[in-house]
Amino acid sequence: DDEKSFYREKIKTLLKARNAVMVAHYYTDPEIQALAEETGGCVSDSLEMARFGSNHSATTLLVAGVRFMGETAKILSPEKTVLMPTLEAECSLDLGCPIEEFNAFCDAHPDRTVVVYANTSAAVKARADWVVTSSIAVELIEHLDSLGEKIIWAPDRHLGRYVTQKSGADVLCWQGACIVHDEFKTQALQRMKALYPDAAVLVHPESPQAIVDLADAVGSTSQLIQAAKSLPHPQMIVATDRGIFYKMQQAVPDKELLEAPTAGEGATCRSCAHCPWMAMNGLKAIAESLEFGGKTHEIHVDAGLREAALLPLNRMLSFAA
Ligand code: 13P
Ligand code: SF4
């Protein structure tokens, strides 16, 4: 409508004027992803967002996602201005792993290598030996296991269990969860599979074990899009944030994409297959962040934390290269 096209045009003008580029996650709303594509930005998973932002020549990064993604961008590119549509876009994994408790957990197990998921605060990253995203988690844990290392994994318990099973490594796991993936329901998914016998089930490893057990493919957002392409099935039941449907449908225009069930009939859930914090990235908020920047939109990371968090983040990027 008129208001949307007004903001789209405004954002395009402001991006040019500020020498800024948009870096958006697959879970943001389709109109945000479309705008990032149209303006030469990127739409991707957490790992690619980090890589794209740090390699790009723009002087300002507009990160459409949640706060840890903005912080990661700032840590990797301190010379750039990093703006977010809102600084209140959190993540339940980040919120569920406060630094004081995490420090105590690590202190209690000094013999373990500390591996943290990208979905954490700068302070938690600063305490870690490694940062990982879901696209390289299994490979990294296998690598550390082959070196004989014992591991602390934080914060996602489902991904932690998944990488432990895959690698056979000795992993001590923090008990966090993603409020979106935690909602997928096993019996409803079994019923859906019976209704769609030709469908493949694609699952993000932040989902509970019983959901992962029903999967034909398990992986990060970008790996799930890849699986939708390579699997022969005409339909895909997708257990991750529905934001992914925008790029997945582009990748497989002839396949039918179905949302995995999140709640029984008549039930409600706070985050039915769409992250409430990702949903805070609207067109108006993006335009305002580019126009006004400042306290309400600009990401800052304490210099000491930045220096300490840069190490494990750079390790992640080199390992993934
Ligand atoms: P990936 O895009 O790296 O799979 O991460 C999923 C996620 O939950 C980000 O919030
Ligand atoms: Fe965090 Fe889950 Fe939202 Fe991703 S989808 S930002 S893991 S709460």
Q: What's the pLDDT tens digit per position in 147-158?
A: 999 999 999 999
Listed residue (261, 148, 269, 134) closest to 205, CA to CA:
134
Question: What angle separates helix 303-320 from helix 46-55, to the nearest 10 degrees?
Answer: 110
Q: Is residue 137 part of a domain?
A: yes
Same domain for 39 and 11: yes
Same domain for 155 and 223: no
Say how far apart CA 219 and CA 206 lie, in whole Å: 9
Other Cβ atoms within 10 Å of 118 Cβ, number: 25
∠ at Cα 63 (174, 312), nearest 5°? 40
Same domain for 75 and 6: yes
Which of 129-133, 159-163, 182-186 is the least confident region?
A: 182-186
Check: CB of residue 89 under 8 Å from CB of residue 59.
no
Q: Is residue 265 part of a domain?
A: no
For residue 268, what pLDDT is reported? 63
Q: What average pLDDT score do residues 107-134 get?
A: 97
| 107: Cα within 13 Å, side-chain hemisphere | 6
* Nearest-atom index, ligand 2, CA of 181: 2
Answer yes or no: is pLDDT of 33 > 80. yes
For residue 264, what pLDDT is reported? 58
Q: Is residue 270 part of a domain?
A: no
Structure-token pair, residue 125 = 């990253």
89 close to ligand 2 (CB < 6 Angstrom): no
Q: Is residue 306 part of a domain?
A: no
Q: What ipTM, to 2 d.p.?
A: 0.97
Of 152, 173, 194, which residue constitutes the final position of a domain? Answer: 173
Name all residues whose Cβ lies below 6 A of ligand 1: 45-47, 119, 133-135, 178, 206, 220-221
Please state whether 259 falls in left (phi above 0), alpha (psi between -120 and 50) or beta: beta
Say how far apart CA 66 and CA 60 lie, in whole Å: 17
Answer yes or no: is pLDDT of 271 > 80. no
Same domain for 154 and 107: yes
Domain that holds residue 77: 2-89+278-300
**Each residue's pLDDT tens digit, 100-116:** 999 999 999 999 999 99
Of 173, 199, 219, which residue constitutes the final position of a domain? Answer: 173
Strand partners, 122: none
Same domain for 97 and 163: yes
φ/ψ of residue 24, rounded to 5: -120, 145
Residue type at position 51: R
Compute, in angstroms, the gap from residue 109 CA to the centroid of ligand 2: 27
Residue nearest to atom 7 of ligand 2 (CA): 178
For residue 270, what pLDDT is reported? 62
Answer yes or no: is pLDDT of 139 > 80. yes
Q: Is residue 308 part of a domain?
A: no
Same domain for 61 and 119: no
Other Cβ atoms within 10 Å of 2 Cβ, number: 6
